[in-house]
Structure 1
Amino acid sequence: MERGIIITPNYSILNNGHGLEMNGSVEPTNLRNYLLFWDKIDYPTNNMIHIGGGQDVDFLIQEGIAKSTQIRFRELRGDQNGFLPLATQMAAYEENNKVENQEWSIAQPTNNLIVPQQYAKKQGCLEFELYNAIQVPTGDVPLSEVVEFKNKRLPELLALRDAMDSIVDSVITSQDIPKRKNKAINKLHRDLNDFNRVMKETGFQRVKRSLTAVATDPWFGVSNAMMLGNSYLPVNYQPYIQGLNVAALGACAVKFSYRELSVGKNIPAEYKHFAYLSSIQKELV
């Protein structure tokens, strides 16, 4: 099954999540990260306020890797205007997930997931973070070179993506956050080493990256929401951090936690790899 990611213009969160400050098109380093780990990219636009994707998105559309879904809103209330790019993202998410044999998630360029109220429902979620564990090309690296690298090193990229997905799947299926290294975490460690080794060999200018996967867990629906405070969570659901030593990066970590979040109201009843949040470290590697 092909995996797709729906992205947004670059923005900062204002007033504790009550508004956005727009900072142009998709952040270039984020775009290179999305290109490495997803099969398809969608940069949706709308008929109210247009923020173009720029030359990078245009290039990926020409290469058949990206598209730009056109979202048309009939009207927009004043209280929704500040979240128009995220409303556009969620409308595209609902549209893309009607396509068979494709699985789409959303990506946001901050540590805090925001879903506009008209598209949202509350849901218990597993957050799985790779902290400072990935190095990705900076925005100065030509996209054509990143595409070439992806085509040459697809096995390493797929292995790391599969390792991340497998850990999330196993935690939700077993209802147990691992408190020590197990088979899945050992595989992730090996795949991180392989990925960062081949990334270093490219000679690209690179930055450290933290990536958080948000997966919905149907067991933590509304009726179990009160359990998501740490004082109520069973031992097997308590937050957990485990250190890793990754080639070329040094000390890194994997983090697990359960939280109640606003997610897409039309996601399936079964668990879903819903969102990916990213943060970039400033220092080069």
Structure 2
Amino acid sequence: MGEAKRRKQQDPSYGKPLRGLIMTSEIVKRPEGTRVSASIEPQQLRYALLFWDKIVWPSNNLIFAAGNEDSAFLETTKILERPRHEFASTTDPAEPFVRSQLQEFQKRDNKDREVWDLCQNTAVLLASVSDATHPGGMGIELIRAIPVPDKDVPLNEILEFKRKRHAEFVALRAEIDTLAARLNSTSNPDTDLQQLIKHIDKACADALRVSSEWQFPVRLSNKKMALDLKPFELIAGGLGGLLGADYFNMSTSQEILAGIVGTAAAAKSIVKFTSDIGLQSIRRPRSPFSYIAYAHSELF
């Protein structure tokens, strides 16, 4: 067996563009002030590990985030990197974390054979950096559709599960990318959208089906993505009518959920579209650049 064939069998990502996610510490905005955690929110970290090949968690000179056992373990596997960024003093403790994310994104995105995204643990973070964002974006949210390992599941177990079931989660990510690209260019949104959502529905159902084989707890999650659009493209493509429109049901995912947890307990999986932010310097407007995952109650 040739070396390339052997590596392809052992690593499903071999020969494909590296997909990386740039994360930040858990940040909570409250009326009395901003609280920054010393680590990545554990549910977000497991979500990232399942869907992306590599994780970057930048550090900075102003506020030290030491991490924990999870981040230390991923550093030993070379899955997680912690590049350091230098900033002048700031009165907002969240700012150096958000700006270091943006700097890493600008440095890494569109590199040969690499595609990088941002992961925000709250929707207000990027919006707070007004000189780096603009209002011409669209949000796509999959509600109660994404299976994510529970926050207490050991990371090595997720890596093993991912090795065995990589194809289903890569397929889901690819369908999301396709939806975003087509939304940014379609001249017939009504017809195209229904077909694209059917594809995502099937991919979500496949991910739910294989997750039910796992012996560890899984949570059903929302997944919100920000897609960079220009206002004239929204108008020209007829996509403006999608914003605030009725939800689009995902019937196949609903059937799989009903089969796993029972009809009465199954949550309805839906897609909705909202206005969102875009990035001033983004160079690839045809796929999502930012992701947030919200976990619901334990699924199985």
* TM-score category of the 2 structures, normalised to the smaller one: 0.7 to 0.9
Number of the residue aligned with 2:155: 143
Of 85, 90, 93, which aligns to 1:77? 90
For residues 265 and 180 of structure 1, what CA distance do their matches in structure 2 show?
A: 28
Counterpart CA distance in 1 for 2:162 and 2:210 is 11
- Select which of 17, 42, 48 maps to 1:28: 42
Deviations 1:156-178 (CA, angstroms, capped at 9, x unpaired): 01111111111111111115654
Deviation of 1:271 after TM superposition, in Å, equals 3.8
For residues 90-109 of structure 1, the aligned pairs below 5 Å read 90-97=102-109, 99-109=111-121
Counterparts of residues 136-175 of structure 1 (less than 5 Å):
136-174=148-186
Greater mean deviation of Cα atoms: 126-135 or 84-93:
84-93
Q: Distance in 2 between matches of 1:12 and 1:143?
A: 24
Q: Give the drift of 1:82.
A: 4.1
Question: What number of residue pairs does the alignment pair up?
Answer: 271
CA–CA distance in 2 between the matches of 1:269 and 1:181?
Answer: 21
CA contact (8 A) 1:37 1:157 kept: yes
Q: Distance in 2 between matches of 1:122 and 1:132?
A: 28
1:196 paired with 2:181, answer: no
CA separation in 1, counterparts of 2:186 and 2:243?
A: 11
- DSSP 3-state at the match of 2:289: strand
Give the corresponding residue for 1:244.
250
> Structure 1 residues 112, 49: CA separation in 2 closer, same or farther (over 3 Å shift)?
closer
Offset at residue 114 of structure 1 (A)? 2.3
Could you tell me how far 1:260 is from its partner in structure 2?
4.9
Give runs of aligned pairs for residues 36-55 of structure 1, distance below 5 A.
36-55=50-69
The share of aligned pairs that are identical, in percent, is 26
Is the partner of 2:63 in helix, strand or coil?
Answer: coil
- What's 2:271 paired with? 254
Residues 120-158 of structure 1 deviation map (CA, whole Å, 9 limit, x = unaligned) = 131411211100111211121110010011111111011
Provide the secondary structure at the position in 2 that maps to 1:49.
coil
Range 267-276 or range 46-55, more displaced: 267-276
Counterpart amino acid of residue 95 in structure 2 = F
Once residues 19 and 269 of structure 1 are traced to their aligned partners in structure 2, the CA distance between those partners, rounded to angstroms, is 34
Contact between 1:218 and 1:271, CA under 8 Å: does it hold in 2?
Answer: no
Q: Can you give the 5+ residue segments of structure 1 that lack an aligned partner in the other structure? A: none
Matches of 1:181 and 1:218, distance apart in 2: 19
Cα deviation digits, residues 79-129 of structure 1 (max 9, x gap) = x44422212222222222263221111101124452443751314112111
* Structure 2 counterpart of 1:277, one-letter code: I
Shift of 1:56: 1.0
The gaps in structure 2 that reach 5 residues or longer are 1-16, 258-265
TM-score by length of 1: 0.84
For 1:5, the equivalent position in structure 2 comes to 21
Q: Residues 139 and 208 from structure 1, CA distance in 2 versus in 1: closer, same or farther, beyond 3 angstroms?
A: same
The more displaced of 111-120 and 209-218 is: 111-120
Alignment of 1:205-284 (within 5 A): 205-220=217-232, 234-235=240-241, 239-245=245-251, 246=253, 247-248=256-257, 249-257=266-274, 259-261=275-277, 263-268=278-283, 270-284=285-299
- Identify if the C-alpha distance between structure 1 residues 201 and 269 changes in structure 2 by more than 3 Å, giving closer, same or farther: closer
Structure richer in strand, relative to its length? 1
Evaluate the alpha carbon distance shift between residue 85 and residue 42 of structure 1 in structure 2; reply closer, same or farther with a 3 A threshold. Answer: same
Amino acid at match of 1:251: K
Q: RMSD between aligned alpha carbons? A: 2.7
Deviates most, 18-27 or 35-44: 18-27
Moved over 4 A (4+): none
| Contact 2:24–2:98 under 8 Å retained in 1 | yes
Q: Against the structure 1 CA distance between its residues 115 and 99, is the aligned structure 2 distance closer, same or farther, given a 3 Å change threshold?
A: farther
Amino acid at match of 1:239: A
Does the 8 Å contact 1:10/1:23 carry over to 2?
yes
The answer to whether the 8 A contact 1:43-1:53 is kept is no
